[in-house]
Amino acid sequence: MWGQIIWHLEGPDALTAKGQTLCFHSLKECEETKGITGCGLRTDGYSTWLSYSKSDIHSASAYFALESFPNEYGAFIALKGNGHSVSVGADEQGRLTVIDNSTKICTVAEVKLKTFTWYKIGVSVYKKEVLFYVNNKKLFSLKKRLNVDEMMLGCGYYKETPQEFSLSSINGVIDEVSINNSDNSLLDISKRPCLSIPASRFAEDFNRPVFHLLPAANWTNETHGLIKYKGLYHIFNQKNASAITLRQINWGHFISSDLLHWEEQIPAISPDKDYDHAGIWSGHAIIDDAGKPMIIYTCGGDTTGVGLASPMDDSLLIWNKYEGNPVIKAPAPGYSRTDMRDQYVFKDNGCWYMIIGYGVDGNNAHGLLPLYKSDDLKHWTYLHPLYEGNPSVDATGIFWEMPCFIKIGDKYVLSVNRTPNKGIPARTQYWTGKFINERFVPDTPIPKNLEVINRLLSPSLWHDDNGDLVSMAIIPDEISGIANNIMGWAHAYSLPRVWTLKDDVIKQNPIEALKQLRDVKTNYWTSNITEKPLMINKIEHQLETDITFHIGDAKQIGITLCHNPLGCESSTILFNIESDSLIIDQTKSSMRKGIPNRVRKDFYHVAGDTLHLRLFIDGSMVEGFINDGDAFSTRIFPLYENSTEMKLFADGSTACASAVVYKLNSAKVKMNF
């Protein structure tokens, strides 16, 4: 049995529980958490499981609680013998499954499991049958003779990736393991399991941000649906807690009172219907005519549609899907692509409108935003495209994702994400213009780039109580899958930014509340940075730096950051005054494997003799704000913890600089599970 005893590592790869040795497999150290009794084993969803090898295994059971459903047919218990294997698990919708791997037969039971709930799962072998139990109730049997000599807990024997990371593992807690034991008691399975991630998992990860928003672990993609309701901010995200890959997408959910300190909740909605079984993809959240929040999301089913969900109460913790889903079942007539996605809903002149990310195939492939209209948010009529691109003129690509259409002052702003194509990367671009006769009329057909250097994507927007337009977006890490798996997480979100429109250009600045995180302040000054660069020697991974360059006769000014004292790691942000360019040189940024070390460059004109640069460094996250409005971002993943030095430099003979550096305190995301 496991749970009422203290379990421990026996050597590097084995666990001992009441005399039974279970081999432990994981990229991580063994993580204990609160179990159904005493301690349980916290798994990560892709690299953690247990195995047991001994002849004549005839039965096994354990208590399991899932944070999320598996990516494939995840196994609770898998048995192997005489060349065959069988397993009992759950599919991506939580349906109980039994797989006979030798014959590739999968049986889906009528039982449907829930996340954040305890279950006792049991398997026994009897003569020519394998029997399967849930909470001591026999559900079905498989006619098969199996002389079991090996068993796995928390993983199956099938569908492994080439990198040896499992897609049949579970993400949750395992407790009270029993092997060859006929005990039929049932513990109190009504108690809510603790599925928070142990603090030890990322305690040594100095690249993991601590004042930026990101989920507790594993995979995330873009944010969406930023709203404020009853004094609290809510933002949702694309989340796969079951592995570090783009599968099994749920709508994750965070709540905050100040946009700085967030608490992660259980997912708002998950793929559990036939019309959304392939994923709960991006969309929007709004406040409806009755003053109640509503989620509009992309249903990933056999076809892609649009679904609605509403909260059970004002806490917004539990959401119910609309019984009439999907409210849009397929693309509008006349369009061939089936992958429409990422709704944005707005109201104008008393009517509700919705646009959806889309693209047109063919010789003139381009992005397009279908426009729908509704009186009640449930019944939608297709009108026509709100706007469509012309890639040969506007370089907006062949497909648009994550559109936003919002009014700032007397102008409408339309932003889209062009998808990557033929070596051209994804980018957030925008136009200003007017909404006339239910169509967008841009001031100019050529869009502007949201950031100077292409990194940040998919902004979520909300007009705050004081009229500020607040934005949050994803800043992807762009590292290899193996590097992500070693870290145990992927991607993070930008600082909350305030958008303003000046001369039809979006200006971005961090919210004032970030000043609450400031701690130790240090002033730096040098009269000339061409003769002697200004060194900032801080062994800190959370900093805000406020830099003023006086350019003088310099043709290049910049900052080297995340520099290692031995010179083996460093990144450079360089303003080339002569060529009107901003260059981020990361060719030496990291000695880790799987980190792309590259150079990014784009147009940027420095006007006047002074340049003001405000940098926020939070582990691997770097966000920069130039002259109180222009923004850029990047990610840096050094191998060495002391790769923290910064240096201000310039050429010419008269350039000088000063800097104020603040150490910033943590605002780690808490977990409400």
Q: Per residue in 1-36, is it b (16+ CB within 10 Å) or e — as a string?
A: bbbeeebeeeeeeebbbeebebebbbebebbbbbbb
Classify residue 474 as left (phi > 0), alpha (psi -120 to 50) or beta: beta
* Domain 8-179 in this protein, CATH class: mainly beta
pLDDT, tens digit, 9 for 90 and up, residues 146-182: 999 999 999 988 655 544 566 789 999 999 998 888 7
What is the CA 208 to chain-centroid distance, rounded?
13
CATH architecture of 517-671: Sandwich (2.60)
Token couple for 356: 């959806």
Query: Taking a C-beta distance cutoff of 8 angstroms, is the pair 33, 173 a contact?
Result: yes
The closest of 408, 336, 391, 343 to 369, measured between CA atoms, is 343
pLDDT of residue 140: 84
Give all strands of the β-sheet with 293-300 in edge-to-edge order: 279-287, 293-300, 304-311, 319-321
CB 78 within 8 A of CB 152: yes
| Chain mean position to CA 443 | 34
Encoding tokens for residue 282? 């991006």
**Does the CA dihedral 389-394-400-406 come out positive or negative?**
negative
How many Å apart are CA 139 and CA 76, to the nearest integer? 15
Tell me which residues of the chain have a pLDDT lower than 70: 1-20, 102-104, 158-166
Q: Which residues of 105-125 are buried (b: 16+ CB within 10 A; e: fewer)?
A: eeeebebebebbbbbbbbbbb
Task: Please name the helix (run of DSSP H) or strand (run of DSSP E) that holds residue 487, with its range, or none.
Answer: helix 481-487
Listed in sequence order, the residues at least 6 apart from 616 whose beta carbon sits closer than 8 Å to its beta carbon are: 495, 510, 514, 543, 544, 622, 623, 624, 664
Placement of tokens 């056999």 in the chain: 302
179 touches 1 (CB < 8 A): no
Give strand ranges (E) for 230-278: 232-240, 250-256, 262-269
Question: Taking a C-beta distance cutoff of 8 angstroms, is the pair 260, 669 a contact?
Answer: no
Amino acid at 650: A
Q: Read off the tokens for 166.
A: 């499992």
660: helix, coil or strand? strand
CB 239, CB 268: distance < 8 Å: no
Q: Give CA–CA dist 278/72, Å, rounded.
A: 11
pLDDT tens figures, 268-277: 999 999 999 9
Q: What is the distance of C-alpha 260 from the center of its chain?
A: 17
CA angle 650, 652, 655 (to 5 degrees): 55
Q: What does the domain layout of the chain look like in residue ranges?
A: 8-179, 517-671
| ∠ CA 200-201-204, rounded to 5° | 75
**C-alpha–C-alpha distance, residues 662 and 522, integer Å:** 6
Instruction: Name which of 555, 544, 547, 535 is nearest 657 in CA terms.
Output: 547
Same fold for the pair 8-179 and 517-671: yes
CA 17 from centre of chain = 36
Instruction: List the strands of the sheet with 262-269, edge to edge.
Output: 489-490, 218-229, 232-240, 250-256, 262-269, 670-671
What are the distances in angstroms from CA 240 to CA 48, 521, 655? 16, 39, 49
Please state the three-class secondary structure of 22-61 as a single string: EEEECCCCCCEEECCCCEEEECCCCCCEEEEECCCCCEEE
According to the model, what pLDDT value does residue 224 have?
Answer: 94
At residue 15, the pLDDT reads 59
Q: Note the pLDDT tens digit of each residue in 365-388.
A: 999 999 999 999 999 999 999 999
Tokens of 616: 């926020």
Task: Tell me the sheet residues that pair with 118.
Answer: 65
How confident is the model at residue 161, as a pLDDT? Answer: 52
486: buried, middle or exposed (CB in 10 Å: 19+, 13-18, 0-12)?
middle
**CB neighbours (10 Å) of residue 654?**
15
pLDDT at 1: 38
